[in-house]
């Protein structure tokens, strides 16, 4: 009995082999910004009812500790072969072939002064001086925040995704380097999670099919005017706060298959008044329904911003390789600012589309198959510096719809972040819209002043 996920599982296996065989390079910290952070993309295969595993097995247990340890660091051909053997053994299991790949997300706890309160994120955190490398940070943070052991006895260390420089103030100020690592849990029997109350309010397993579905694409509206205005001074800061409303960001509405909640945190049990028993309350209940008397429903889980950028890097590896095409550039809700940004970024967005299409068509050019060195390709197609991300965090686009050497060449000529160069246009568009508003107001004042003067004369 086919479950409809077999093709996705097969693609995921190939993606894991590619990621392990061709790791992304390390991005150095910007000058005067030594901070680094790591996140863990933890995947599992959820068994299907018709293909439930009769015996819990772990392909890693059949190998020696030395072999298992080597599988997590692929730095030579022998080690890569060992990783492929382990991946082959895992994906040969019947419950894996017919299972549903899922990814773990966390919802952050509410903390005073934390601007990421309640956001959907990935397990992770800042690198400690005691950590040997960025990957150690990802493993440590996963254990501390959600209680998941990512050691070689419980998970396969697949590889990394593109590292990026996280910035603020519309890309002006670098904050840190973010380093994502991919892990695959190897057992169908998952232990209970242990959530850190100060960091994690809940965890949610979400199917990759849901993340890839265009039907779940939506928008998140965030009030960023105060944050953006902080980077300016004087009257310009006041005008920014006055004219900028909410910003629209591409988002995915998450549909968890399984959730774990930290019941000890404040706010887990909603606090509020009892249902309104007055005459007005009864009338409202009759008109709007019984649920109108109860506390507001919990807001849907939305994946957006920096975490969406990281996830897009993973989804772009999976056919049909169009994850980035389903995203939209962030904009403001005010119609005049939005129109100005659309007009001023028109050429930029078209150029980005051309760059993406040129990367996708690399395999059809014959350059790689004819033995042309990727270093001899046009210089403008090569990323000159690591992709930087700002508020929306959209990631680096990589095309994996190729095979053999063409795919490897595409990695070297991959498109930089779709947002790289976008925020300078945003700043200019906001300033232009501001001038436009002032001009309109001045013209209206002049018009009514002349009309008043003509009447008084």
DSSP 347-374: HHHHHHHHHHHHHHTHHHH-TTTTT--G
Q: What is the pLDDT of residue 239?
A: 61
| Kind of pairing between the strands at 173-185 and 36-46 | parallel
pLDDT at residue 288 tops 60:
yes
Q: pLDDT: is 429 or 59 the higher one?
A: 429
* Residue indicated by tokens 């095979």: 403
CB neighbourhood size of 440 (10 A): 11
Q: pLDDT: is 328 or 451 the higher one?
A: 451
Q: What is the pLDDT of residue 365?
A: 39
Q: What is the pLDDT of residue 148?
A: 96
Q: What is the pLDDT of residue 241?
A: 59
| Coil, strand or helix at 37 | strand
pLDDT digits (tens, 9 = 90+) for 92-142: 999 999 999 999 999 998 776 566 677 899 999 999 999 999 999 999 999
Residue 152, both tokens: 């070689």
Distance from first CA to last CA of the chain, Å, rounded? 90
* Residue indicated by tokens 């070297």: 412
Whole-angstrom distance, CA of residue 82 vs CA of residue 91: 14
**Nearest of 188, 190, 109, 101 to residue 149 by alpha carbon:** 190
pLDDT digits (tens, 9 = 90+) for 306-328: 898 899 889 988 887 776 666 67
CB neighbourhood size of 285 (10 A): 17
Lowest mean pLDDT among 135-139, 217-221, 361-365: 361-365
pLDDT at residue 67 tops 70:
no
Residue 57, both tokens: 């097995």
Q: Please, which pLDDT band fits residue 431 given cuts at 50, 70 and 90?
A: confident
**Nearest of 40, 64, 42, 68 to residue 136 by alpha carbon:** 40
Residue 372 in contact with residue 413, Cβ under 8 Å?
no
Residue 320, both tokens: 């049909």
Residue 27 in contact with residue 163, Cβ under 8 Å?
yes
pTM here is 0.76
Residues 6+ apart with CB under 8 A from 3: 48, 50, 51, 98, 99, 100
| Kind of pairing between the strands at 120-121 and 217-222 | unpaired
Q: What is the pLDDT of residue 133?
A: 95
Q: Which fold has domain 5-53+84-261+302-359+388-454?
A: Nucleoside Triphosphate Pyrophosphohydrolase (3.90.79)
* Residue indicated by tokens 């930290």: 262
Whole-angstrom distance, CA of residue 126 vs CA of residue 305: 18
Segments making up each domain of the chain, as ranges: 5-53+84-261+302-359+388-454
What's the residue count for the chain?
A: 457
Whole-angstrom distance, CA of residue 224 vs CA of residue 337: 14
Q: DSSP per residue over 186-255, as a string?
A: --SSPPPP---TTTEEEEEEEEHHHHH-GGGEEEEEE--HHHHHTTS-HHHHHHHHHH---EEEEEEE--
Residue 449, both tokens: 């002043």
Whole-angstrom distance, CA of residue 364 vs CA of residue 433: 43
Q: What is the pLDDT of residue 116?
A: 62
Q: What is the pLDDT of residue 16?
A: 96
Residue 6 in contact with residue 93, Cβ under 8 Å?
no
Residue 71 in contact with residue 58, Cβ under 8 Å?
no
Average pLDDT over residues 30-59: 86
Residue 120 in contact with residue 253, Cβ under 8 Å?
no
Q: What is the pLDDT of residue 85?
A: 93
């Amino acid at each position: 009995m086919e479950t409809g996920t077999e093709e996705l599982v097969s693609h995921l296996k190939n993606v894991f082999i590619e990621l392990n065989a061709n790791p992304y390079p390390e991005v150095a910290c910007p000058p005067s910004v030594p901070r680094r952070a790591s996140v863990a993309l933890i995947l599992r295969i959820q068994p299907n009812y018709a293909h439930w595993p009769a015996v819990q097995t772990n392909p890693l247990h059949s190998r020696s500790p030395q072999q298992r340890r080597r599988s997590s660091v692929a730095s030579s051909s022998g080690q890569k072969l060992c990783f492929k053997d382990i991946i082959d053994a895992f994906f040969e299991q019947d419950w894996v072939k017919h299972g549903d790949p899922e990814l773990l997300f966390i919802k952050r706890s509410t903390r005073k002064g934390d601007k990421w309160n309640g956001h959907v994120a990935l397990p992770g955190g800042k690198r400690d001086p005691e950590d040997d490398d960025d990957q150690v940070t990802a493993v440590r943070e996963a254990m501390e925040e959600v209680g998941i052991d990512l050691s070689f006895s419980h998970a396969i260390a697949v590889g990394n995704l593109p590292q990026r420089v996280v910035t603020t103030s519309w890309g002006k100020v670098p904050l840190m380097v973010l380093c994502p690592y991919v892990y695959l849990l190897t057992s169908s029997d998952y232990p209970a999670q242990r959530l850190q109350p100060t960091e994690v309010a809940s965890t949610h397993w979400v199917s990759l099919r849901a993340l890839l579905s265009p039907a779940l694409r939506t928008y998140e509206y965030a009030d960023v005017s105060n944050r953006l205005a902080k980077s300016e001074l004087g009257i310009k800061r006041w005008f920014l706060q006055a004219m900028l409303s909410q910003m629209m960001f591409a988002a995915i509405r998450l549909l968890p298959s399984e959730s774990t909640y930290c019941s000890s945190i404040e706010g887990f049990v909603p606090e509020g008044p009892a249902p309104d028993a007055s005459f007005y309350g009864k009338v409202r209940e009759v008109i709007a329904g019984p649920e109108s008397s109860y506390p507001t429903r919990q807001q849907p889980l939305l994946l957006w911003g920096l975490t969406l950028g990281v996830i897009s890097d993973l989804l772009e590896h999976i056919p049909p390789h169009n994850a980035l095409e389903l995203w939209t550039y962030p904009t403001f809700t005010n119609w005049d600012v939005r129109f100005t940004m659309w007009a001023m970024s028109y050429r930029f967005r078209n150029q980005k589309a051309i760059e993406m299409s040129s990367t996708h068509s690399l395999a059809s050019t014959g350059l790689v198959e004819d033995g042309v060195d990727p270093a001899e390709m046009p210089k403008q197609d090569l990323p000159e510096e690591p992709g930087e991300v700002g508020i929306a965090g959209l990631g680096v686009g990589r095309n994996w719809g190729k095979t053999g050497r063409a795919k490897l060449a595409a990695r070297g000529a991959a498109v930089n972040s779709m947002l790289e160069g976008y925020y300078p246009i945003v700043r200019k568009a906001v300033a232009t819209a501001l001038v436009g508003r002032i001009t309109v107001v001045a013209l209206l004042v002049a018009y009514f002043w002349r009309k008043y003067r003509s009447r008084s004369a």
